[in-house]
Amino acid sequence: MNEQRNLNTPYEPGNAEHDNSIGGLLRQLTREVPSLFTKELALAKAELSESLQATKAGAASVATGGAVLLAGFIILLMSAVYFLSTMMEPWLAALIVGVVVVVIGMIMVSAGKKKFEASSLKPDRTIHSLQKDKEAVRGHA
């Protein structure tokens, strides 16, 4: 019932709900801006937390898989050295396999570095929301 009374209340100059003057709009803006910034900061915090959790889970998975792959890869490299040592000196076979593995490793590391770009940690939704808020404030001013 109280809501009906507010809806039917005629315009009064001191009534903040119906005050569309510049002063009234500025008062309303000063009341709402702190709340808006608080909400935007909470959104940014939640978004960054979500990104960090996903990054941690991915890093743990990569580390575990990498350890298992390393063990298997070392055995395969040893077999390559043993195979080449039947055709040449063992030290030369080990050198050839080592150089090939180092080159492949360097290529893989440089490709992996590209996947950890800083832009993937950027809070895109928060930035977009802030831009919309900025445009809305400009539209009211």
Of 31, 40, 21, 12, nearest to 140 (Cα)? Answer: 21
Q: Where are the domains of the chain?
A: 21-140
What is the per-residue pLDDT across 85-98, written as a single tens digit (0 to 9) for each?
999 999 999 999 99
With 60 as the cut, is the pLDDT of residue 16 above it? no
- Degrees, nearest 5: CA angle 119-123-124: 85
Is residue 125 within 8 A of residue 43, CB to CB? The reply is yes
What is the per-residue pLDDT for 11?
A: 47
What is the per-residue pLDDT across 99-130, written as a single tens digit (0 to 9) for each?
999 999 999 998 888 777 655 667 778 888 88
Residue 36 burial (C-beta neighbours within 10 Å; 0-12, 13-18, 19+): middle
Of 129, 117, 126, nearest to 45 (Cα)? Answer: 126
